[in-house]
Amino acid sequence: MIWIKILLIPVIGILGIIIGLLYSGIDRILTARMQDRVGPPLLQPFFDIRKLMIKENIIPENSVEWLFNLMPILALSSTIVALFYLPLGGIEPVLTGHGDLILILYLLIIPALALVMGGFSSGSPYAWVGAQREMVMMMSYEFPLAITAISIAWLLTVSGISDPFSLEAISNNPGWDLVGPVGFIGLTLLFLILLFVMAGELGGIPFDLPEASQEIAGGILAEYSGRNFALFYLADAVKAVVFGSIIITLFFPYGLGLSGTAGILADVAFFFVKLFLLIFIGSTFVRVAASRFKISQVVYAYWVPAVLVSLSGLLLIGIDTLM
């Protein structure tokens, strides 16, 4: 059994990258169609990565070279490791633990921290501004994200389910089955908050402040090129898969209920449909429908309305458990 898991680790990593790039291609096509443009081909992200990998990897003269080169590797590796703890399409995760929900939240912080450290280590004033913005955004959306995760775990605890911070336990005991009408409203609010956090985590418009080309010339990634830029590109693609998978695990872990090999394949296909819908709603649609926020607006949006709504969701779940 242990050897199967060891063999699955590189397979899941490669599949995560391929799926992330495919969803990125679909995302760009849909964005173009919604803006009345033709858009790139589906495989354009693969072409971009191939081109970046063969380009020269330029290191800024004033950079901290080892840190500058390490951060893209750290960003990609942390997102891939997160995939190992997620039940994908009803298939058991490669790695499990008693607190893997908390571990996943920490792993999601690492790509943002890698961007910040990479920006600061580049020696570019544009990257410094972008790194500061990324740091402020990260501190903003992490709070409502943590409230949502704790709310789900607390619901499992009061429902008598052991190991409430285990993603496997959460996946096997959907919150919708544990609450009444009031709790249902609370869970709905928490789900909407996670969609809002997803838009910030993925860093697309209107949350692309750290990379705003019109303002800070590419910002946090201004000095990155070649292989290093490609690794950050891949980290973003895999991160979309990871965050979408987390939302599915927390709120929509349901399968189609079929048995046998055909049932497993159907559940995996159904999982990717759910993942596509979440990425479309939480990223593509938001990017097309909204213009860029100011950094003060981002902080306010996450620290005031998002926190209040997530706390309201927690309160409604608490009321429901007492009824």
Distance separating alpha carbons of residues 141 and 108, to the nearest angstrom = 12
Mean pLDDT along residues 122-142: 82
> Residue 310: what pLDDT?
92
Range(s) of the domain holding residue 145: 2-322
Residues 162-199: tens digit of each pLDDT: 888 888 888 888 888 888 888 899 999 999 999 888 88
As a whole number, mean pLDDT of residues 295-306 equals 86
Indicate whether 257 pLDDT > 80: no
Strand partners, 88: 91
Question: Cβ neighbours of residue 147 under 8 Å, at least 6 residues apart?
Answer: 193, 307, 310, 311, 314
Confidence band for 292, pLDDT divided at 50, 70 and 90: confident
Q: Kindly state the average pLDDT of the residues 199-203.
A: 80
Least confident of 99-103, 212-216, 233-237: 212-216
Q: From residue 214, give the alpha-carbon distance in Å to each of 19, 222, 293.
A: 30, 12, 13
- So what's the pLDDT on residue 315? 92
pLDDT tens track for 44-88: 999 989 998 888 888 887 778 888 889 899 999 999 988 888 887
pLDDT at residue 298 tops 80: yes
Distance CA 117, CA 78 (A): 15
What is the count of structural domains for the chain? 1
Mean of all residue pLDDT scores within the chain = 84
**Quick one: tokens of 221?**
């990634």
Average pLDDT over residues 201-218: 70
pLDDT of residue 208 exceeding 90, the answer is no
Contact by Cβ (8 Å): 79, 246 = no
pLDDT at 207: 72
CA distance 277 to 200: 17
pLDDT at 297 over 90: no
Beta bridge partners of 91: 88
Segment 217-227 mean pLDDT: 76
Q: Percentage of the chain surpassing pLDDT 90?
A: 11
Q: What is the mean pLDDT of residues 31-48?
A: 86
Specify the higher pLDDT residue, 125 or 79: 79
For residue 215, pLDDT beyond 70: no
- Please give the Cα distance from 109 to 114 (Å, whole number): 9
